[in-house]
Amino acid sequence: MDTRTTLFPLPLFAALAIHAQSLVSTEPMPRTALLEEFTAAGCGNCPAAHVVANDLATVHGDDLMIIGIHGGGLAAPQAGQPDFRTPDGTALWSAFAVPFQPIGMVNRQGLQQASGWMAAVSTVLSEISPVNIGVASSFDAGTQTLTVDVELYYTGEGPVGDDAIHVALTQDGIVARQQDYQNGVQQNYMHRHVLRDLLTPVQGDPVSTTAIGSFVQRTYSLPVPSGWTLADLDVVAFVSEGAAGVVHQARQVDADGGITTTVDGTAGALGLGNVYPMPAHDLVTFTFTDEAAGRVLILRDGLGRIVMQEQVNAYGANVVISVGGLAAGLYHAGLDGGRTKKVLVSH
């Protein structure tokens, strides 16, 4: 792990900090939600919890990050199936004394069964975070190395002495076996948000300067195995109170070229709003902001090939497209020249 740190506490370097950063807002912002979902491919009750998590992701969009942490005895793969267990995942199961699956934590405020996740997420999103986090991720194909830049800006005093930065790499849209007590064994189940590795220690990377106006920059790197599909990888970064305390804020970006915000704290002009349902089986709906009027919505497959195009005619008009004829898998939708969002198709 390669880590570089730059701290600019106010008041001496206030102006420098505000103008040097480019990924994070300097205005007070709401908390975002992180759901760490403890699961397993051999867990027959877990698909029902996955539905709850995916429904919450559809409702809350970029305000909710999900990490699926496979572990426990039910995570041992059957012959010919991928192994979703990781040393970091096993360490997290141990650190939080996970008793069974499915179970999860919203912003590390205690383990809850899936029935409690919706209320916990809603509560978190109603609160203001004392610190904002921004993320940029890039991939060097020559060295097969992922590099992630993280920025923090404290708009309030950190409630504890030290905070910690955590950076996780997840993979979406992995088709493999899943035990399912309601519907029978699913041989081609789409596994989402699967934890692949941590770029930081399990206890996080400590941050000791948490006063109002503090600006923190860190850089992390990770070699990416060739067997992982780059287009399916996401980076989830979050900042917590100490090593395992409450999560202040989290962000997620694409591993290859993903970035959060600009210097003024506003997201890049996407025009593209929510995408639902996720995963989609037949029809998928796209919502838009006013920047989208007259632009073209483009859907690409995992190889970057255009599989569908649709013009956006007016502000506020949703676009509904049929994906029933597309192969199951991960696609990317975006407006011409804009950033993209992932679309999972499952049949």
Q: Which amino acid is at 97?
A: A
CA pair distance 49, 273, nearest whole angstrom? 25
What average pLDDT score do residues 313-321 get? 76
What average pLDDT score do residues 327-342 get? 79
**Which letter does DSSP use for residue 116 in this model?**
G
pTM for this predicted structure: 0.78
- Are 292 and 271 in contact by the 8 Å Cβ rule? The answer is yes
Q: Which amino acid is at 259?
A: I
Band the pLDDT of 313: cuts 50, 70, 90: confident
Given this model, what pLDDT does residue 72 score? 96
Produce one character per residue of 244-270: b if its CB has 16 or more CB atoms within 10 Å, e if not: bbebbbbbbbbbbebbbbeeebeeeeb
End-to-end CA distance of the chain: 39
Given this model, what pLDDT does residue 312 score? 85
Given this model, what pLDDT does residue 108 score? 97
pLDDT at 139 > cutoff 70: yes
For each of the domains in the chain, give its residue range(s) and CATH number, in order of start: 6-254 (2.60.40.10), 272-345 (2.60.40)
- Residue the block writes with tokens 């940029």: 136
pLDDT at 263 > cutoff 80: no
β-strand partners of 236? 168, 252
Given this model, what pLDDT does residue 8 score? 37
Task: Output the average pLDDT for the chain.
Answer: 87
- Top pLDDT among 161 and 151 is at 151
